[in-house]
Structure 1
Amino acid sequence: MEIGEKADGRGTAFAIGSGFWMTARHVVDSCDVVGILERPRRGLRARSYSVHRSADVAVMRIDRSAPPVRFADAPPQPGDIAYHVGFPRGKPGELRSRMLGLSVMNARGRYSTREPVIAWAELERFPEDSSPLSGISGGPVFDSQGRLIGVHVAGSVRRGRSFTAHPSSIREMVDRSGAAPSSAAEALPFTPDTLPAVADALRDRGTVAMALCDVR
């Protein structure tokens, strides 16, 4: 994956604990100001953010709490179905995928990393189109029980593939940030038929928000 020069941009973030929000490293790394869009035309600036030293995940501290995601107890397995939620191309969108297996992703450019990731085959997306999924980066990826199993970090439209940060990288970033995920956090189950409605519910209650990057 090529990490270009930093410019103003948008991605996706999600609540993991009181005032803690997770996103992809490439969404916020090297930005002068980062934050989330609480509602149209109202952004909330992060007080601070930290990035994983060797993986594409980051955590922001923001004076805004929302119902957090619930973390899965075990990593996904090949053949498992996942549900990706976020803001592809700056608009609400989601997709369903099937796990293919483990892979390795190399990042070059603004920073360089080599990290374990999970590869997924895209099954369907809402709304239906064949455009790149830029903007969903940093978004949460759930199992059918609505528990977090990944963070969307990259994709290939031509191959119909998506890639998520490995659970070990996510856990390491959570521990390093000092966030305290709740085992009692509510999980909203997914099915193929309810994917758009559940994704909208997560955005409406503020669990999933648009991430903002400002370069000055």
Structure 2
Amino acid sequence: MSKFYFWLSLFIIFTAISSSLPEGGVDSVPPVRPKSVVGETAPPPLRELRPEGEGELKQKSRLDPEILINVEQKQHGSMSTGTAFALSDEGIWGTARHVTEDCTRLIVLTSPRKGYRVEEVIPHPTADVSILKTVAGAKAFQIETDTLTYNAEGFHFGYPRGEPGNVYSRLIGRRIIKTQGVRKGREAVLVWAEKIRQPDHNLSLGGISGGPVLNARGHLVGVHIAGSVRRGRSYSSLPETVTSLLQQTDYQAVTQQSDQPYRVDRLRDQGNLLRKRLSVAKVVCVVD
């Protein structure tokens, strides 16, 4: 008799997990805990890095220094997190392409255990950027069209290591990221010298990938795609990369943004506000 109740319990649990999704594109998500980084040592304190030029940022060139990054394939049965940001209140989001690759299911979280399932993923053919489509969106960011300048402020928001976090930085130059492994390519990126981290730690910022990099006007100037813990640097895709990908779709990004200017002394409060209203959201990738 005890065996009967044991198998009956397993059947009920399996049925609950395998039940169909509710209408409206809202999915149920198991809890995701940030993974510990084995063997990672604390780097020296963030250094004072000077910009590599003055005035307007130089045009990208094939001769820009290269950074080599290895891209690994996600394992079957794994679950990982990244960050997305709103491009339209009609359910258009931006994120990093490596956040969306190999995923069987993608969910933009609206609460710790619920979210919008992603209906469509449009990856950039060469850059580490993807566009997501869900049933609903949030207050969106305007994409900056003005020329960027050296030493410009950068405000990074997202979910490093699966938890809310913010970074304040300064734009110091440009590089070319060369990827190897499961994805090979070259992409011009912006280099940011990190000045402030919240929470204050010297661990990897993994999980903030796909998050927005904003300027002091609150406009999107990049998509966070990589970082160097040892050097205290972050790398972001160019704003025109997002624009060019949107132009290949039928989706339109927001053209006006009325936020107050972003300031370093309000970094924590502004990050919390963006996450609360889902302009910055956590993304869960499930690989079945």
Give the TM-score taking structure 2 as reference length: 0.73
Aligned to 2:281: 209
Deviation of 1:157 (Å): 0.3
- SS of equivalent to 1:85: strand
How far apart, CA to CA, are the structure 1 residues paired with 2:271 and 2:260? 9
Aligned to 1:143: 215
Which amino acid in structure 1 is aligned with residue 72 of structure 2?
Answer: G
Tell me, yes or no, if the aligned pair for 2:143 and 2:239 is still in contact at 8 Å. Answer: no
Aligned to 2:82: 11
How far apart, CA to CA, are the structure 2 residues paired with 1:203 and 1:173? 24
How far apart, CA to CA, are the structure 2 residues paired with 1:168 and 1:67? 20
- 157, 161, 169: which one pairs with 1:97? 169
Q: Alpha-carbon deviations, 1:105-129, whole Å to 9, x = none?
A: 0111121110000011111111100
Structure 2 regions of 5+ residues with no counterpart? 1-68
Instruction: Output aligned runs, 1:6-155, within 5 Å.
Output: 6-7=74-75, 8-17=79-88, 18-155=90-227
- SS of equivalent to 1:170: helix
How far apart, CA to CA, are the structure 2 residues paired with 1:148 and 1:125? 19
Deviation of 1:177 (Å): 3.0
Tell me, yes or no, if the aligned pair for 2:83 and 2:210 is still in contact at 8 Å. Answer: yes
Q: Alpha-carbon deviations, 1:15-39, whole Å to 9, x = none?
A: 1012111100000012111121110
Q: Alpha-carbon deviations, 1:63-119, whole Å to 9, x = none?
A: 122111122121422111100000000000000111111110011112111000001
- SS of equivalent to 2:172: strand
How far apart, CA to CA, are the structure 1 residues paired with 2:101 and 2:258? 30
How far apart, CA to CA, are the structure 2 residues paired with 1:22 and 1:91? 19
Tell me, yes or no, if the aligned pair for 1:16 and 1:179 is still in contact at 8 Å. Answer: no
Range that drifts further, 182-191 or 140-149: 182-191
Among all aligned residue pairs of Structure 1 and Structure 2, give the percentage whose two residues are the same amino acid: 35
How far apart, CA to CA, are the structure 2 residues paired with 1:157 and 1:105? 16
How far apart, CA to CA, are the structure 1 residues paired with 2:193 and 2:105? 34
- The CA RMSD measured in Å over matched residues stands at 1.1
Aligned to 2:35: none
- 234, 238, 259: which one pairs with 1:187? 259
Deviation of 1:188 (Å): 4.0
Tell me, yes or no, if the aligned pair for 2:220 and 2:239 is still in contact at 8 Å. Answer: no
How far apart, CA to CA, are the structure 2 residues paired with 1:188 and 1:23? 24
Deviation of 1:168 (Å): 2.2
Confirm or deny that 1:2 pairs with 2:73.
no
Tell me, yes or no, if the aligned pair for 1:75 and 1:167 is still in contact at 8 Å. Answer: no
**Larger RCO: Structure 1 or Structure 2 (Cα < 8 Å, ≥ 6 residues apart)?**
1
Count of aligned pairs: 216
Range that drifts further, 176-185 or 53-62: 176-185
Q: Alpha-carbon deviations, 1:43-66, whole Å to 9, x = none?
A: 321011010010000011101221
How far apart, CA to CA, are the structure 1 residues paired with 2:182 and 2:87? 27
Name which one, 1 or 2, has greater alpha-carbon Rg.
2
Against the structure 1 CA distance between its residues 149 and 9, is the aligned structure 2 distance closer, same or farther, given a 3 Å change threshold? same
Against the structure 1 CA distance between its residues 206 and 108, is the aligned structure 2 distance closer, same or farther, given a 3 Å change threshold? same
- SS of equivalent to 2:186: strand
Range that drifts further, 146-155 or 170-179: 170-179
Higher strand share: 1
